[in-house]
Amino acid sequence: MSNHAVVSLPAGEAGATEARPVLPGDRPAPIARRRRGVRRVSAGQVVAMVLLGLGAVAMIAPFLWMLTTSLRSPGHAYDLPPQWLPTEFRWSNFADAVGGPVPILRNMLNSAIVAIATSVGMIVTAPMAGYAFARLRFPGRSSIFVLLLASLMVPAQVTIIPLFLMMSSWGLVDNLLSLILPGLTGALGVFLMRQFFLSLPESILEAARLDGASAWGTYRLVALPLARNGVSTLGIITFLTSWNAYFAPSILLSSTETATLPLALVLLLGPYGAGNLAQVMAATVIAIAPAFVLFLLAQRWIIASLTQSGVKG
């Protein structure tokens, strides 16, 4: 059982995306199906594709509109009917957005600093704790773990007031550290990594131990390399959560210089959306671009990472 579990995560990744290739095998098979009528099946298929297609248009159209609007001259930004393909290419909107009253590139750097720092912190601290809870024995292990797990139920809104007071007494309000410090550890990561280490076969760890490796050596040289997939999953979840966060940053940061990118875009939008639409959309394109590129490069991996916790849960 545990031998299966080792490959179950990488295989789960393949399973989510690779399960379809079984289908070509369907081609020579459907003799039974043909008897009941190929037409009924294919009609259903066509309906499914049309419905999904309409839905997909609704999912993508807002982004397409954003892109074309970001390239229009401000005077034409509100033109109706909307043009779905760009007819003018006013790249200066992007320059204006970057050079505008809100220092977007700086804000993007801020977001990157926080996201990278918290991801690095998390992939160092969470696997260690997860390993200890899964594989090491010490008094109080399960009660400490349950306590830690209970913090998954604590919404950020409950801790934000004391957190704000604490950060202001440390002089860290409007400082990126106020976001980084609480993000360096986290119960979700510990939980995910514990699950992961539980799935490793004990025999491998036992072998390392019998070879005389210390607990640290067993962890660092045997367990951690085997958990690469779990660690990268955790890294991407942490990065995206931080990159997209709005609630805590909106309370702990206050100046345009320290603002993270989501805050900066709300500032740029201005009260009641009175900003220059083409420019706001250009800024939004810039803000979304990294996520888009990341998605293009690692679509499968991201989807597998994010759904893993749910499927396994």
Scanning residues 84 to 123, which ones bind another protein (CB under 8 A)?
none
Q: Is 6 in the site for another protein (CB under 8 A)?
A: no
Q: Contact with another protein (CB under 8 A): which of 3, 38, 89, 202?
A: 202
**Where in 231-250 is the site for another protein (CB under 8 A)?**
240, 243-247, 250
Find the shortest distance in angstroms from Cβ 288 to another protein: 5
Find the shortest distance in angstroms from Cβ 109 to another protein: 16
**Where in 251-310 is the site for another protein (CB under 8 A)?**
251, 261-262, 265-266, 269, 271-273, 277, 280-281, 284, 287-288, 291-292, 294-295, 299, 302-303, 306-307, 310
Q: Contact with another protein (CB under 8 A): which of 38, 49, 95, 105?
A: 49
Give whichever of 103 and 298 is closer to another protein, judged by the CB atom: 298
Q: Is 54 in the site for another protein (CB under 8 A)?
A: no
**Where in 17-36 is the site for another protein (CB under 8 A)?**
17, 19-21, 23, 26
Q: CA–CA distance from 185 to each of 107, 149, 234 (Å)?
A: 24, 13, 12
Size of the site for another protein (CB under 8 A): 109
DSSP state of 80: S
Give whichever of 182 and 230 is closer to another protein, judged by the CB atom: 182
Contact 279, 91 (CB under 8 A): no
Alpha-carbon Rg for the chain, nearest whole angstrom, is 25
CB atoms within 10 A of CB 188: 17
Give whichever of 141 and 228 is closer to another protein, judged by the CB atom: 141
Find the shortest distance in angstroms from Cβ 163 to another protein: 5
Q: How far is CA 138 from the centre of its chain?
A: 33
Return contacts of 8-16, CB within 8 angstroms, 24+ apart.
8/199, 9/196, 9/199, 9/229, 9/230, 9/308, 10/229, 12/304, 12/308, 12/311, 12/312, 13/229, 13/300, 13/301, 13/304, 13/308, 16/300, 16/303, 16/304, 16/307, 16/311
What do you get for the CA distance between the two ends of the chain, in Å? 18
Q: Contact with another protein (CB under 8 A): which of 10, 37, 44, 171?
A: 44
Find the shortest distance in angstroms from Cβ 16 to another protein: 5
Contact letters for another protein, residues 139-178 (x by CB under 8 A): x-x--x--xx--x-xxxxxxxxxxxxxx------------
Amino acid identity for residue 222 in this structure:
V
Structure tokens at 120: 């690095």
Contact 94, 70 (CB under 8 A): yes
DSSP state of 25: G
Give whichever of 66 and 226 is closer to another protein, judged by the CB atom: 66
Q: Is 126 in the site for another protein (CB under 8 A)?
A: yes
